[in-house]
A and B are shown apart, each in its own frame.
Chain A
Amino acid sequence: MRTIVFGAMTALAFGATAVSAQDYPSREIQGIIQWGAGGSTDTVMRSVTPHAEEVLGGTVVMQNMTGAVGAIALNYVADAEADGYTVLMGAENPMLYRTMGLGERDYSEFVPINLLARGTPILVAGPDAPYSTYAELMAYIAEHPGEVRFGSTGPGGLPSVITAMMQSVEGELDVIFVPYDGDGPALTALQGGAIDVMPAVLGAAIENIRAGTMKPLAIFDTERNERLPDVATAVEGNEGYSTYLPWGPFFGVFVHEGTPDEAVTALTAAYAQAAEAEDFRALMDTRGFTMMNISGDEAREFLAAWQSTTAWLMQEAGLAVNNPADLGIPRPGE
């Protein structure tokens, strides 16, 4: 009862002050996290946001809103008032909604406050696999057609993008794709021998690589990763990858288009500073993410390029539901 009365009183107080948006933030900001508690998006957002709160001098109440590959959360924020008090904390998935027929909206309706970091894809195999490098894997596939089992996680997920990239560079791969509902279960299956090769995000595999229960075959980046300096990049294996790389899933904070400049400026400054916090960078490093910390036009360009690369890879792999050309997504390099 007391909370209800208190809530009503604060609501009244806000009603009085909300008219003048001079002092943003004048009340609690609601942060909607697109994915579940304990997941990577959740971890990233919950560790960076306290630092942003300090800079803002306000409170951000974070809530996980899952479902429909993140579309529930996206729609919620898009439908809320664009006043800077509802913030979307999400990952890369919305940039593929239109191509994959999962929804009508994506981040083009949003203002990127900060694209915090991106993940690096890595190709891993079981410890006893008869191949240890990218080249050996390709040779093995050629010699044993239809035998190597690749883990996948449904069209649009990281594994599907990486395999689409591989097929685009190397030509059709005669392998079996075994579908899993997430990279966690697929990496478990890899250790149990149910699948042979899995494209995963570095952070999800690094502990197993360290323990020797998984073997890294190639880093999907243009430069070697400092956490695994001995692992060659895909570009070293085949120059063709340089068209697509660097590519990776990313995390970002967004507000809806039409949010007052004052709020955008305050949030952008807060998250830019928060992303520099030492413990946040340390966390990103242990989880194998590469810091980006970009906003504004730079972030918009990144999003557009990401969408173009990925949507067209999906289209070429025959996985796209809607042709990116019809959606007005330019081909990479156009």
Chain B
Amino acid sequence: MSALMDFLTVFTQPQLLLLVGLGTFAGVYVGAIPGLSVTMAVSILISFTFAWDVYPAISLMIGIYMGGVYGGSRTAILLNIPGAPSAIATALDGYPMAQKGEAGTAIGVTTVMSFFGGFIGILVLAAAAPAVSGFALRFQPRDYMLLAVLGILLVGSLSSGSLLKGIFAGAFGIAIGSVGMDPLTFTPRFTFDQPMLRGGINFIAVMIGMFGVSEVLLQLHHVNTPAVRQKISRIVPSFGTIKRYLPLSLQTSFIGVIIGALPGTGGDIAALMSYDHAKRITKNPETPFGEGAMEGLVAPESANNAAVGGAFIPMMTLGIPGDAVTAIMIGALFIHGLNPGPMLMIDHPDMFWFIVGALVTANFFMLIFGLTGIRLFVKIVEIPRAVLIPLIMLLSIVGAYAVNNSITDVYWMLGFGVFGYFMRLYGYPLGPVILGVILSRLLDDNWRRAIISEREDLGRFFSGIFHSPLSTVLLLAVVLIFVSQTPLWRLIRRRKA
């Protein structure tokens, strides 16, 4: 009974309701601007809300978080510039839709599916948090490594056209990700004695450059082409459409919750994996993937919002952050005199249900704000290129600078922008580069941990894999997905048929 009261706290206190709404609204726009991340917004809020009570502070942060994860898809669809890494997969099919004048439909679908995904995430958090966090804890370094290998195999789905070019792009991403001071041994890698390279190459700067600046340069090829007129008759998707994609959304939401709940992986990986999943299970998409397939929007958007609820699972049950944002929120709880950890649910059960309530509220606000601003938002695409191009350029520069207040990041961003432009010109996909950067550390660190734990003995390493059901399943998945991408698979299938 008291759980219900705590759950309803947000709904019954207008001030909290207002803060969640305000946070969600701000989050949608912060998330949409590349370079302004949810993590950054929440860190600023931590100092801003220092003197507040804990409920209002957390309400605002949760709103920003939920709204921000959703907001990243806006610019991905409209401008081909993901507002956040978790929206990279959304750009793959969202932008082609905008180019066909269907940006309104695309945003409508992503909003509803983000809402649905967010809701599944919260539901799992509320109903099964201890079980899921127990499962997440069982992931050993070798399992994270296998998960990263599974991720690397997504290169196949992310590269339309030449697989070889995709592999090159992915390998390049992994190389970028390994530049800098190795956090495990403090050995500089690929730094060429340049102090500037010690901290590594900022991944957000790479993303903004590769997507933003390369897009600008590419658009310069046809400055005079008039902008695509957007059809904005149909924004809220019909019930039939929703029903049709619901099974896919449900599946990818669960992928999102689990990946989100794992400490060390977050919405970005979840969204990419879900995109891959959608591509695998959709036999005959209405529109091919990469050209504006609805499934390509539904999957990553359900997954990245479901990952929000997922990230709270280890935070609430164990005091372990599920991602960068929840890591900061744990700090916020400390500041407000709570002790996040395994005892939080026992000492402060109210906090758990309050957070669940705030997440539900934020999710509803996200749906409302998401569906109301669309008409105005899609107009962005209709802005003449002569105005839009300099605007995107400016936004990219500000965004890259804002990440760390570092001018070096701006140079990186511009450099990778030019590089990305040439990559696109010659048909190299950009998705795998970002995938490589995201997975580089996960793969490298966990491989080293895994093999060090086994006294650097490969035999022990493999016997360890087969002694753990979890590792065995992951290894099987890796092998199956790998084989399914080789000519061998086609051969087997042809023989069967």
Residues of A within 8 A of B (CB): 36-39, 42-43, 46-47, 50, 62, 64-68, 72, 100, 102, 146, 149, 154-156, 176-182, 184-185, 188-189, 191-195, 206-208, 210-211, 213, 282-283, 286-287
Contacts and interface: CB of A to CB of B under 8 A. Distances in A.
B343 interface: yes
Interface string B301-340: 0000000000000100011110000011111101101011
Interface residues of B, number: 50
A287 to B, nearest CB: 7
A296 to B, nearest CB: 29
Contacts of A283: 334-335, 337
A181 B453 contact: no
B186 A37 contact: no
B404 interface: yes
Given A62-B47, A206-B341, 10 more contacts: A38-B332, A38-B334, A68-B198, A149-B453, A154-B186, A176-B455, A177-B452, A179-B449, A189-B141, A283-B335
Contacts of A207: 319, 339-344
Contacts of A191: 137, 318, 320
11 contacts: A36-B328, A37-B331, A42-B46, A66-B404, A68-B181, A176-B452, A178-B449, A182-B183, A207-B341, A207-B342, A211-B346
A210 B347 CA distance: 11
B234 interface: no
Contact of B448 (A47, A149, A179, A184): A179
A182 B319 CA distance: 15
Nearest to A192: B137
A42 B46 CA distance: 10
Nearest to B140: A194
Contacts of B139: 192
Given A38-B43, A207-B340, A286-B339, A102 B186 contact: yes
A68 B199 contact: yes
Contact of B47 (A37, A102, A177): A37
Interface of B: 42-44, 46-47, 50-51, 137-141, 181, 183-186, 198-199, 263-264, 314, 318-321, 327-332, 334-335, 337, 339-344, 346, 404-405, 445, 448-449, 452-453, 455
Contacts of B445: 179, 181
Contact of A154 (B185, B339, B405): B185
B186 A194 contact: no
B186 A156 contact: yes
B81 to A, nearest CB: 25
Contact of B331 (A42, A68, A176): A42
Contacts of A102: 186
Determine chain A's interface SS by DSSP, over half rule: mixed
A180 B449 contact: yes
Contacts of A46: 46-47, 50, 335
A282 B453 CA distance: 39
Nearest to A282: B337
Nearest to B186: A154
A179 B455 contact: no
A179 B137 contact: no
A154 B445 CA distance: 12
B184 A154 contact: yes
B43 A208 contact: no
A146 B455 contact: yes
A102 B331 CA distance: 27
Given A46-B47, A46-B335, A188 B449 contact: no
A189 B318 CA distance: 12
A321 B9 CA distance: 55
A62 B342 CA distance: 31
A50 B342 CA distance: 30
Q: Which 9 A-B pairs have the closest CB atoms?
A: A38-B331, A207-B341, A37-B43, A211-B342, A179-B184, A181-B183, A38-B328, A192-B137, A211-B343
A192 B263 CA distance: 11
Contacts of B343: 207, 210-211
B183 A213 contact: no
B335 A47 contact: yes
B266 to A, nearest CB: 14
Contacts of B320: 184, 188, 191
A72 B195 CA distance: 11
A94 B344 CA distance: 34
Nearest to A38: B331
A177 B331 CA distance: 28
A180 B344 CA distance: 25
A100 B187 CA distance: 10
A268 B19 CA distance: 38
A50 B335 CA distance: 13
B248 to A, nearest CB: 31
A177 B318 CA distance: 24
A179 B332 contact: no
A192 B183 CA distance: 21
Contacts of A68: 181, 198-199
Contacts of A181: 183-184, 445
B137 A188 contact: yes
Most chain A CB within a 10 A radius of its CB, from B184, B314, B340, B445: B184
A67 B335 CA distance: 23
Contacts of A210: 341, 343
A284 B382 CA distance: 55
Given A50-B51, A193-B140, A211-B343, A185 B263 contact: yes
Nearest to A196: B453
A72 B373 CA distance: 41
A188 B263 contact: yes
B46 A37 contact: yes
Given A46-B47, A100-B186, A189-B141, A67 B199 contact: yes
Contacts of B137: 188, 191-192
